[in-house]
Chain A
Amino acid sequence: MPAPLGGGRAALAVRGLERSFGHVRALRGIDFGLDAGDSLAVFGPNGAGKTTLLRILAGLLRPHKGEVLLDGAPLERTDAAHRRRVGLIAHYSLLYDGLTAAENLAFYARLYGLRDREALVTRALESVGLADRAGDAVGTFSRGMVQRMAIARALLHEPRIVLLDEPFSGLDQRAAATLRDLLMRLRAERRTMVLVTHNIDEGLELATHVAIQVAGRFAEFGPVAGDLAAYRARYAEATASRG
């Protein structure tokens, strides 16, 4: 199914995105558009190019073809204003084990030029339930706590576009519920989200749009339509026919 583009001023639009690593074509022409407040869940098997797509959207990776548009303007990877609008929750925490939770967030707050850093850091730690561990080194945290810290870091500067790569991995039930609440809040605030996940249940719960990515292409893209079982069947069909 062809992936429709958003309007000319879509909050996030992607046109003809291609990227290779040596002989491996990770992305083979991806197009989509999302308006403010839309959230896209991208499902796909390992090696489908989902993380590559997110890294390009975040500006960490240069596409070989195609472009990313933020509010209709091409993403300039070196443009500070663009980078302020994007937050990424990646596979890795992007945190320093030797710094405390508060120091990590304060460091990023300084890089983003945020004011009233102390209060901001306290609020961010409270939002992920880690206020009581503010003075502990991140290196002493469990996997789930690190993931919550990574979420606090990514949302510290209140980005308009939030990119999430398997955000629920490693979270216990309580932390997963906290994250779900947080993402629902972001949706209510009309932030644009792109969520990469294997978990169809969680993806559908949070998304307004769904894409199934297989072998570097969107096999399907569109607003959420149908129930979980229907998406499971379509996902299985897409991965079987393309994989």
Chain B
Amino acid sequence: MVDLLRAAWAIAAKDVLLEFRSRTAFVSALVFTALVLAIFNFARDPTAVSAVDLAPGILWITFTFAAMLGLNRAFGLERENRALDGLLLSPVSRTAIYLGKVLANLVFVGSVEAIALPLFALFFNVPILPVLGPLVLVIALATVGFVAVGTLMSSMAVNTRLAELMLPVLLLPFLVPPVTSAVQMTARLFAGRPFSEVSAWLRLLVGYDIIFVAACILLFESTIEE
């Protein structure tokens, strides 16, 4: 177990370092986030629909598509010089490779979300501070779910001819449960409803995370083996 975690950590640290050096996906995701938020802000009619009603959907659309830019890169890094073969040749388990990639993707998506959230509050004038704790919990749970599935799909899409296009096609159907739960919970939090009102959605999100993280760990080996 210690070896598995050590190997996963080494792979994650390598991915984060490579992204830190190039900043390709991170800067793209941030620019994308700022653009989406700005466009939605100027496109909406504030007299027709209030910001609080629109904001949850916009927030999660932004998070979801920004995350895909990072997920696309997760295994794209390994395509360069067929480095994935190097990982597969090494004595680390396939689970360690998967967990390393998930960890690196969580850092990437979490960083984008950490910058996007204040931007979102600024553009839409939504008071996030009073609900920051529960909101961060919702974001964390939803992010774990879609990063777990997204990392698996990224490993499947990477060897296809149109990997960048293939990932959203494969991934989006699986994101319906976590994104729906997250949007519903965020909407209730912004509306000032008590946290107990979102417990059913919360259970759905936790259940999704447990089931899909386990399923993705089990399925990963068959997606990368030739």
Binding site for B on A (CB under 8 A): 55, 58-62, 77-78, 80-81, 83-84, 86, 88, 90, 92-99, 103, 107-108, 110-113, 153
B89 touches A60 (CB 8 A): yes
Q: Are B91 and A96 in contact (CB under 8 A)?
A: no
Once bound together, how far apart are the Cα atoms of A111 and B87, in whole Å? Answer: 8
- Chain A nearest Cβ from B51, distance in angstroms: 41
- Chain A residues with CB below 8 A from B225, complex form: 62, 77
Q: Is the CB of A98 within 8 A of B86?
A: no
Assess whether A108 is in contact with B86, with CB atoms less than 8 Å apart: yes
Q: Verify A94–B86 contact, CB threshold 8 A.
A: yes
Q: Beyond A78-B93, A78-B94, A112-B91, is A60–B22 a contact (Cβ under 8 Å)?
A: no
The 6 nearest A-B residue pairs measured at CB = A80-B91, A94-B86, A92-B82, A111-B90, A110-B10, A83-B91
Q: How far is the CA of A95 from the CA of B77 in the complex (A)?
A: 10
Q: When the two chains form their complex, are residues A99 and B93 in contact, meaning their CB atoms are under 8 A apart?
A: no
Interface hub of A61, A92, A111 (most chain B Cβ within 10 A): A111
Chain B nearest CB, measured from A108 CB (Å): 7
Q: What are the residues of chain B within 8 A of A95 when measuring CB–CB?
A: 81, 83, 86
B interface, over-half SS? helix
CB distance from B212 to the nearest CB of A (A): 23
Answer whether residue B142 sits at the interface, using C-beta atoms and an 8 A cutoff.
no
Q: Which of the listed residues B85, B88, B91, B93 has the most CB atoms from chain A within 10 Å of its own CB? A: B91
- CB neighbours of A84 from chain B (8 A): 91
The stretch from B13-21, B158-166, B176-184, B190-198 touching chain A is B13-21
Tell whether A62 pairs with B82 under 8 Å between CB atoms, given A83-B90, A99-B18, A111-B90: no
Give the interface of B toward A (CB within 8 A).
3, 6-7, 10-11, 14, 17-18, 21-22, 77, 80-83, 85-94, 221, 225-226
Known: A60-B226, A62-B225, A90-B85. A96 touches B14 (CB 8 A): yes
A88 CA to B22 CA, complexed, in Å: 28
Which residues of B sit under 8 angstroms from A112, Cβ to Cβ? 90-91
**Cα–Cα distance between A80 and B18 once the two chains are bound (Å):** 26
Per the bound structure, the CA–CA distance linking A93 and B81 in Å amounts to 6
Q: How far is the CA of A110 from the CA of B11 in the complex (A)?
A: 9
Q: Is the CB of B93 within 8 A of A80?
A: yes
A111 and B85 contacting across the interface, CB-CB below 8 Å: no
Q: Looking at the assembled complex, report how far the CB atom of B58 sits from the nearest CB atom of chain A, in whole angstroms.
A: 34
Which residues of A sit under 8 angstroms from B18, Cβ to Cβ?
96, 98-99
Name the distance in Å between A171's Cβ and chain B's nearest Cβ. Answer: 17
Give the distance in Å from the alpha carbon of A24 to the alpha carbon of B21 in the complex. 42
B10 touches A94 (CB 8 A): no
- In the complex where A111-B92, A113-B91 touch, is A98 in contact with B10 (Cβ < 8 A)? no
Give the residue name and chain of the A residue nearest to B20 (CB). Answer: A98
Contact B226 A97 (CB under 8 A): no
Nearest-Cβ distance from residue B223 to partner chain A, whole angstroms: 14
Whether A99 touches B86, Cβ cut-off 8 Å, given contacts A83-B91, A110-B10, A111-B91, is: no
B43 to chain A, nearest CB (A): 38
Given A60-B226, A112-B90: A96 touches B83 (CB 8 Å cut-off) = yes
How far, in Å, is B157 (CB) from chain A's closest CB?
A: 20
Which B residues lie within 8 Å of A153 (CB)?
A: 86
Selected contact of A96 from candidates B3, B80, B94, B221, CB within 8 Å: B80
In the assembled complex, the CB of B9 is this many whole angstroms from the nearest CB of chain A, namely 9
Can you report 25 residue pairs joining A to B where beta carbons are below 8 Å apart?
A58-B89, A59-B89, A60-B85, A61-B226, A62-B226, A80-B93, A81-B91, A83-B89, A83-B90, A88-B85, A90-B85, A92-B81, A92-B82, A95-B81, A95-B83, A96-B18, A97-B80, A98-B22, A99-B14, A99-B18, A103-B17, A107-B10, A111-B87, A111-B90, A153-B86
